[in-house]
Every structure is written in structure tokens, then in C-alpha cells.
Amino acid sequence: MKNILLPLTIAALLVACGAAAPEGEIGQKKAELETLKANYKELALQIKDLETWIAANDSNAVRNLPVVTAQPLAIGPFTHYVDVHGTVRADQAAALYSGGGRVRRILVSPGDRVRTGQLIISIDNDLAAEQIQQAEAAYELARTAFEKQQRLWDQRIGSEMQFLQAKSQKEQAEAGLAAVREQQRLTNITAPFDGTVDDIMVRVGDMTSPMQPAARVVNLSGVQLEADVPEGYLRTVRSGAPVKVYFPSVGDTLSAQLDHVGQFIDPSNRTFKVTVRVPKGEEMMRPNLLSDISIQDYHTDSALVLPSRAVLQDVNGNNYIYVLDRGTGDEAKARKVLVNRVSEYKGRLSVTPAEPGGLKGGEMIVDEGAKNVSDGLAVRIANN
């Protein structure tokens, strides 16, 4: 009985734990695997050699090459602009205030032409009128006293001090009357310059305030554009530079010159102010009209110009492009050429060769698809 149970127990343990294959069989399988790997490598090399030979000798074979677009490296003028937003400012535009009082009369309407000093709004100021009456009475009294004292002094009657005191009192009364009359004049609203009444903000009977404008007068004979330019362009933006201006609201454009470059940098936004004088005759110019201003800060008559997307950068920070050396048909070989970036504006880039004789202009370069190309790689030109 014991002789039967022992073999059964051993068999059960082998089934539960899994029986290992014989050592000789494992070695045989490993040898077969190494043989197959060696044969695979040899076949792969043979296949590659055959594909290369067929591609080079069979004109009907289609090669799986990266597809790129090409264009010639242009030689021509290049201009860089600084693009900023500006607003129209009239040389003469004033909001008019009153010293306080009730509106008595409004003598003009919006759109009327006015002259310097012309009364626009008459203000009823009882306090000023009373002050004028008092000043006039004081002046008449001082003038009469002075005239009498002068007659006595001419007859050598009285002292010189009495004469001088009378003269001083008369002059003080005269100055006081002029001051209150000027105060009354400032209470009324008059035109500060020749121009057009743009708006009347009050009605007859309203009370005016020194804090609230009552009218606006503008003169559009002299208009300029103002814009803020980042401080990074302080060395390149100069007075007299050509300027292109576009008014998106009205669709108008004009060409002008930079009139003034500010010398103060605003610490809040790190910009400096520039102004552009608008030529006379521009009828659509209105104060605060928005504009897009392009200021020319770089120009050359002859430069190597190409699309910005055609220039790549390697891990060492070198800029380069791919020049295409033409082969047969629509195929070419890409050649890496180092370049230096000079200036870029709206997708166009001016470059110089980083090495002597690297570029001369007119060479075909990779435009689109340059990221899929490497130095010496054959490519297919899509726009052949």
C-alpha cells in the first residue's frame, strides 16, 4: 500500500507545481531562435539593397520621399515697420466751463462757426453784477478824490503824501473794477479760438458749475495722431520716418511722416509718445478717431528675403534653411545652410549667410515641410 501511495503523491505534486521541460529541449529552441534572427537580419539587408537598386534604376518605381514646397530665395528691398494704435487729436479742441450761474441765453447752435471771444452762452450771475456796481462806486469816489487832490497839488496846496495817497487809492479802485469785470466775463462762456461749436450741454435756465462743461468748440484745421510706442524701439524710431496710417472705422488710409518722438518714458506702461502730423484736407479726421499706425524703422534696398517659416533653429541655437539641389524630375536633395536673422515683418524675414559664399540669391529653398527634412535627404517638390 505504501509503495502505491508514494508514486501517486509525487505525481500530484508535479501536476500542481508544473513540470519543467527537459534542459536539452530548451537549448534546442534557443538555438533555433538565434538562427531565425540571423536569417531575418540577412534578409532585411538584402531587401533594402534590392529596394535601393530598384529605386535608382527603375524609372517606373515610386519612391516614398518627404514632400515639400519650394520657392526661390528672393533678392530685393525689405522694410520693417513698428505697428501701434493711435488716436486723432485736434490742435484746438476745448470743453468750455462757466464759473457758476443760471443760463440766461444760448446764442449759438451746434455746427455754427464762431470767432475768438464771441459770446456763446450768457450766464446770469447776480453776485457778479452787484460786485461790479460796488467796484464802480468805489472807483468813482477814488477818481473824484484824486482829481480834487491833484488840483490842490497843482496849486501847491496840501502835502505830496496826500496827493500820492489819493493817486494810489484811485489806481487800486480801478484795478478792482477791472478784476470784477473780468470775473463776470469769465462767468459767461465765450469762444477761446476760431472754430466750430461741436456741442451745447446745457439749456436755458440750467445752473452751470465749474465742474461740468457747458459747451465744446473744435478747430479741425490742425490735426495730429498720437500713439504710444514700446520702449524697445527707442533707438530705431526717429523723427521724419515714413508712416502708413489706416483708419479701420472709415476704411481710409494716408501716408505721412513721424513729426515728433517723445523723450519721456511712461513708467506705467513703458512706452514713449509719438505724433504724426495729418496733412490738411483730410475731411474724415475727427478727435479720438482710432487708427493703426505703421512706423518705418528699418529699410534696405537689397536683402535676401524669404518666408519666416522656412528658417529653423537647431539645438545649438543656429538658424538654418534648406537649399534644394535639383535632381531628376521633381526630386531634389536638401542641403543645410546656416543663416543670420536680420529683421522680420509680417511673415517675411531678411537674412544674411552665416558663412562666406553660403547664399547669393535665386537658390531654390524649402518653404513648407522643412521640419520633415534633414541634411542630405532626398525630397519631392510638390510645386515643381
CA distance 299 to 312: 24
Residue 155 corresponds to which cell in the numbers above?
Answer: 496849486
- 305 - beta bridge partners? 74, 350
Tell me what pLDDT residue 8 has: 45
Tell me what pLDDT residue 114 has: 93
First-to-last alpha carbon distance for the chain, in angstroms, is: 93
Q: Which residues contact 59 (CB under 8 A, 6 or more apart)?
A: none
Tell me what pLDDT residue 4 has: 45
Tell me what pLDDT residue 22 has: 64
Outline where the chain has alpha helix (H): 2-17, 23-57, 126-154, 160-187
How many other CB atoms are there within 10 angstroms of residue 200's CB atom? Answer: 19
pLDDT in tens, the chain (384 residues): 444 444 445 444 444 444 455 677 888 888 888 888 888 888 888 887 887 777 666 655 556 788 899 999 999 999 999 999 999 998 888 899 887 788 888 999 998 999 998 989 888 766 666 777 788 888 888 888 888 888 887 787 778 788 788 888 888 888 888 877 776 666 788 899 999 999 999 999 888 888 889 999 998 888 899 999 999 999 999 999 999 999 999 888 999 999 999 999 999 999 999 999 887 766 667 888 999 999 999 999 999 999 999 999 998 899 999 999 887 778 889 999 999 999 999 999 999 998 887 788 889 999 998 888 888 888 888 886
Structural domains of the chain, ranges and CATH numbers in brackets = 67-77+301-381 (2.40.420.20), 82-90+221-299 (2.40.30.170), 98-208 (no CATH)
Matching residue, cell 539593397:
49
Q: What angle do CA 325, 331, 332 make, to 5 degrees?
A: 15
CA distance 72 to 74: 6
CA distance 326 to 56: 16
